[in-house]
Amino acid sequence: MLGLCIKAENTKLRRSVVWLAALLIPVIPAIMGTFNYLQNAEILTGAWYSLWSQFTLFYSLLFYAPLIGIYCSYLWRLEHMDHNWNILMTMPVSLSRIFAGKLFIILKVTLFTQLWVFILFVIAGKYVGFPGFPPLEIFLWTLRGTLAAAAIGALQLLLSMCIRNFAIPIGIALMGGCAGLVLSNLGLGLWWPYSLLMTGMNSNSYEDKLSGGVLPFLVSTLLFFLLFSGISICLLKHKDVKA
């Protein structure tokens, strides 16, 4: 049954604007980060690491969480139209699997986005004249930041499920990302879900923020994931058809 739910959600993505957003929007922080690096190249002497710090400064702050918000709002958009919510509530499939199917798709599209961001990073590095390729560590930071999408995806799916408006959950994601930067700088990044994106990607930093151990990051991500997924499934089970 879960496979059928995933297949149904995949159908929504065919020829959808989601893929266009995943391709085009990351180009904006890529240009901003590269330009900022070139403007400060004299003081940014860490080569690939310096470029990464500028790249992720804009991407993880202003674009990563809203992108996930776009994906989640799009997946719930159909259910919020006409009487499709009634169809969802009467389907012979458990609501937990319906939610899991949506979350699986969010993680798939986010992984695609993250890999594309890393490719843009490599292109930018070549453009500014770096030899070779980025350290493997930076690629691992990219994947680690993708793990945080499990928590943010669950949260944004919850918001988009409860809020019929397409844009409001995306705006919440943007504000959450800005608050995440403040809390990260205060050392409270593991206590705020949107900060996990920045912590995982080692945003705006040369040294690994999780060098002392990745376990607290993984535990925090898992707890937020279970919390928001649990709330979403509970709300779904108590929702009724709309007259």
Residue spans per domain, the chain:
2-238
Residue with tokens 């151990």: 213
In 3D space, the residue among 157, 150, 124, 93 whose CA is nearest the CA of residue 30 turns out to be 124
Task: Kindly tell me the burial class for residue 177, based on how many C-beta atoms sit within 10 Å of its own C-beta (0-12, 13-18, 19 or more).
Answer: buried
For the whole model, what pTM was predicted? 0.91
Q: What is the DSSP string of 54-68?
A: HHHHHIIIIIHHHHH
Report in angstroms the alpha-carbon separations of 41 from 44, 111, 120, 122, 184.
5, 30, 19, 17, 25
pLDDT (0 to 100) of residue 91: 67
pLDDT (0 to 100) of residue 207: 74
The count of other CB atoms within 10 Å of the CB of residue 119 is: 12
pLDDT (0 to 100) of residue 243: 39
Can you list the alpha helix ranges (DSSP code H) found in the chain? 2-13, 17-24, 27-39, 48-58, 64-77, 84-89, 95-128, 136-162, 168-185, 195-201, 215-238
pLDDT (0 to 100) of residue 183: 86
pLDDT (0 to 100) of residue 41: 80
CB 86 within 8 A of CB 241: yes
Mean pLDDT of successive 10-residue segments in the chain (243 residues)? Answer: 72 83 94 91 84 89 93 85 66 78 91 96 93 91 92 94 90 92 83 90 78 87 95 80 44
